[in-house]
Structure 1
Amino acid sequence: MKRIPFLEKLQEKLGAFASKINKNIYVLAIRDAMMAYMPFTFIASIFLIIAYPPVQGIADFITSVIGVEQEVWQAKLLYINSVTLNISGLLVTISASKSLADRLNINAIQVILTSVVSFLLLTPQVSTETGDAIEIVKIGAQSIFLAFVVSMLSAKIYQFISNKGFKIKMPSSVPPAVSAPFESIIPSFFVITLFWIIRLLCEGIFNSNALDLINYVLGIPLTTLGGSLFGIVVAKICEQLLWFFGIHGGSLVSGVMTPILQVLEDGNKSAVIAGGDPVNIISNSFFTHFAGIGIVGAVIAIFIVAKSKRYKEMGKIAGVPYVFNIGEPALFGIPLMLNVTYFIPFVFACAVNTIIAYIAFAIGIVPLPSGLVQLPWTTPLLLSGYLVTGSVMGAILQLVEVVVATLIWIPFIKIEDRKIVSEEQVDTFAEES
């Protein structure tokens, strides 16, 4: 492949930037927390699909079989949702604290417990006949930003106090399982006291609570940007640009975008469960299942127009994994990365399809993803489109995007394929000679 100094220089700069981001413990903590939380979204979605099937006839059939009214058995299925998606902020607090504690080399169990106490301390409470209580919705997706702030501050303050030697030191003969909790008393006391003071200041000065303030200061701007067409298109272009230069763009972008998208997803889910309609076009389901359709067009284009032996064989190898949206064989085998011929379709095909999907949802051709069904990214196209929207139109939209991506890729595949055919002819002639 011909060397292009400009691209090599750009790759070097982007690589250095990505390396710094990948080593940032806070970005890693966000990524680790959302990855740890992801299986529970899938588990909850299975029960939500049953509770709110895309076709009412299915619900009627279940009702007739079990002989219980729909509202009753739906409520039973929602138990899983209440202890998974509805406590997502708490789960993120635990997983982010664990990630930070491991990287800061401090007592993970004590940091996790300290963070959980601090998180709940800042969570608004309501008065009941039996005393104060925390509404479960307050520790759900709306508290994810609070969870990250509390986890990061708790871990860093705990580390600072501990490193300064402010801890109860037990004799060396005392087993670690006994001495560790005692050593954590002072660092945990400082952390919890600090968050108690923060709560008092929020109540006294702002007549509010930390959850609402953080969501106002951080949540609203981030969700507004991340939930806009401009924001999501920029995110996809950045992701693909990083991938083009061999940097794991998905890992970097998802670390920033996933918390925002999950909050938007939860907004849709809550609206649907309350009997309304989804309110956000952009959500985690939109980003995962509609904004990422691009490279599959390269694989299909190879099947349609490629004449070289190399591409025909590569198409067979890359085609099967792409049924489950696994694109590494195509990225590395064709290869697509660092191939200047493919720069335009590689970087911009997903962005084009993101705009198409946004328009389709905005004008009402396709129902918005309900948030009830949250599927892993490996779910095959068409199936994922149908399930997350509850409509065959979701699958049709994905099919349209696949066609658009293929049309974008075809002329570029033809250009590169002709080069390879020429090379193969030269090699064949040399062998015969």
Structure 2
Amino acid sequence: MYQQFMDFMSEKLLPIATKIGSQKHLVTLRDSFIATMPVVMTGSIALLLNAFLSDFPSEFGWTQITETFQWLIAINGLIFNGSLAIVSLVFIFALGYNIAKVYETDKLSGGLVALASFVVSLGTSITQTFSLSAIDHGLAEMINKVTGLSYVDGQLSVTISGLIPGNQINSRGYFTAIVIGFIAVVIFSKCMQKKWTIKLPNSVPPAIAVPFTSIIPAFIAMYIVAIITYAFNLMTGQLIIDWIYDVLQTPLLGLSQNPLSIIMVAFLTQLFWFFGIHGGNVMAPIMEGVFGVALLANLEAYQLGKDIPYLWTSVSYGAFVWYATLGLLIAIFWQSRNKHYREVAKLGIAPVLFNIGEPVMYGLPTVLNPLMFIPFLLCPIVLSTVAYGATALGLVSPVTQNVTWVMPPVLYGFFATGFDWKSIILSLINLGLAIAIYLPFVKLANNPKFEKL
């Protein structure tokens, strides 16, 4: 029965996973998210430092720490403004660069066309509405005569033109960046491939020739995006970015907070790993495109002191789920008499303490190991269920910090939740559950007939 299941999965699942993992547009999306990591992590570290210097001391009344390091808090605020606050601009350039790379056209021009086209789609004004008590009719008429001001039924609307809306270039703009980036740079690349370019003599240096040959394709791509933006706004009264946020991004992020979605992502990631496929790479478009956006929204809300919008993010998995391999090694040290298992555990414990599980996955192995199939898949299901439940019940704070993935277990959750001490308890409980799940199978491996598994 087991062999039949393994054969079925190998025949049906592996080809699908391989296609997903190699599909050029999904690979482009994955690589673009990864490319933003230097900027995103710098902003995240700045935010984490501010939490350590401001929020954490305030819980114990250590105001002197905050006052002493006010200069560093201000510097970290500047870093935040230049990283997470404009993360969509960073991402769209990386996306355009990688799309052009896939289509083998000029990568720098692709990044610039994507960035410019994204800004085109944002519009040029910001409108903010405020509630006001009833005012004199004459005063209301005077307000309505002022350009950019409108007063109707107790609502004062203020419109400022000529600016890039700040709330459109943070995590809110991610999905629009994906849509506009693909539209603009695919058009640009197709035009380049069709040689719809300015012809220059061969004697012209490449540094001059390449930008010139990109002019017509960039012109076509940007004008198409501008026409789409203008026509959409004319017909609906909305900007594309607002419509995408309301119709696509918000529902998808809401769906990502469903417990079944969270468990399914954990299960599929681990299932791909079991068959030797990099589960993180296959699931990256979902993990970063949905859960990663939720993390950025939480980061921004935390920075602004607002309510945290999402219970579960991409970092939640690292904080409370992916360290299950440490539970396996503890179970091996505790109960295993299998010499091979113990040797691999000795070699693998140091990397696993920094969330590097490949030595154990391929050395034990857990990959394609029938004895480890059940616990390998069961652990992420149980651990994500417990962690999500604890967060949903308010027992543990939601993840609000983007912590580096090599942060050791337990500390990972503590830092990721903005120093919530209860996350330490949750991390230890999940580690205990991982040990308990793996332990019977580690004991089973003591049987000589399983020595080669």
Superposition TM-score, scaled by structure 1 size: 0.90
CA distance in 2, matches of 1:418, 1:55: 53
CA spacing shift, 1:338–1:196, aligned 2, 3 Å: same
CA distance in 2, matches of 1:148, 1:317: 42
CA distance in 1, matches of 2:452, 2:186: 58
Residue in 2 aligned with 1:391?
A: 420
Alignment of 1:3-22 (within 5 A): 4-22=3-21
SS at match of 1:417: coil
Decide which of 431, 434, 445 is 1:402's aligned counterpart: 431
1:414 matched to 2:439? The reply is: no
Displacement after TM superposition at 1:187 (Å): 0.7
Decide which of 206, 213, 218 is 1:183's aligned counterpart: 213
CA spacing shift, 1:213–1:59, aligned 2, 3 Å: farther
Decide which of 246, 256, 271 is 2:301's aligned counterpart: 271
Residue in 1 aligned with 2:134?
A: none
Residue in 2 aligned with 1:32?
A: 31
- On the 8 A contact 1:226/1:257 being kept in 2, the answer is no
Structure 1: unaligned runs, 5 residues or longer = 425-433
Which digits, 9 at most, give the CA deviation of each residue in 1:210-253, with x for residues without a partner?
A: 11112233212321222221111101111111111111111111
Residue in 2 aligned with 1:62?
A: 65
Which digits, 9 at most, give the CA deviation of each residue in 1:160-200, with x for residues without a partner?
A: 22222321111122222212222111111110111111111
SS at match of 2:310: coil
Alignment of 1:202-221 (within 5 A): 202-221=232-251
CA distance in 1, matches of 2:416, 2:61: 17
SS at match of 1:282: coil
Residue in 2 aligned with 1:94?
A: 93
Which digits, 9 at most, give the CA deviation of each residue in 1:121-173, with x for residues without a partner?
A: 01143268995101333111111111111221222111222222321111122
- On the 8 A contact 1:293/1:350 being kept in 2, the answer is no
CA spacing shift, 1:212–1:180, aligned 2, 3 Å: same
SS at match of 2:162: strand
Alignment of 1:19-418 (within 5 A): 19-53=18-52, 54-56=56-58, 60-65=63-68, 74-126=73-125, 131-369=161-399, 371=400, 373-389=401-417, 390-418=419-447
Which digits, 9 at most, give the CA deviation of each residue in 1:318-367, with x for residues without a partner?
A: 21111001111111111111111211111121111101001111111112
CA distance in 2, matches of 1:176, 1:124: 35
SS at match of 1:266: helix
CA distance in 2, matches of 1:77, 1:284: 23
CA spacing shift, 1:351–1:55, aligned 2, 3 Å: farther
CA spacing shift, 1:181–1:59, aligned 2, 3 Å: farther
Displacement after TM superposition at 1:32 (Å): 0.7
Query: What is the count of residue pairs matched by the alignment?
Result: 417
Query: One-letter code of the match for 1:151?
Result: G
Which digits, 9 at most, give the CA deviation of each residue in 1:12-67, with x for residues without a partner?
A: 4322222212221211111111111123222112222232222325862334435x
- On the 8 A contact 1:293/1:353 being kept in 2, the answer is no
Superposition TM-score, scaled by structure 2 size: 0.86
Displacement after TM superposition at 1:422 (Å): 7.0
CA spacing shift, 1:422–1:156, aligned 2, 3 Å: closer
- On the 8 A contact 2:118/2:177 being kept in 1, the answer is yes
What is the root-mean-square deviation in Å for CA atoms of aligned residues?
2.3
- On the 8 A contact 1:289/1:381 being kept in 2, the answer is yes
Query: One-letter code of the match for 2:26?
Result: V
CA distance in 1, matches of 2:50, 2:99: 37
- When structure 1 is superposed on structure 2, of 144-153 and 13-22 the one drifting more is 13-22
CA spacing shift, 1:423–1:140, aligned 2, 3 Å: closer
- On the 8 A contact 1:114/1:192 being kept in 2, the answer is yes
Q: Quote the sequence identity (%).
A: 29
CA distance in 2, matches of 1:181, 1:268: 39
CA distance in 2, matches of 1:322, 1:365: 27
Structure 2: unaligned runs, 5 residues or longer = 127-147, 149-158
- When structure 1 is superposed on structure 2, of 253-262 and 137-146 the one drifting more is 253-262
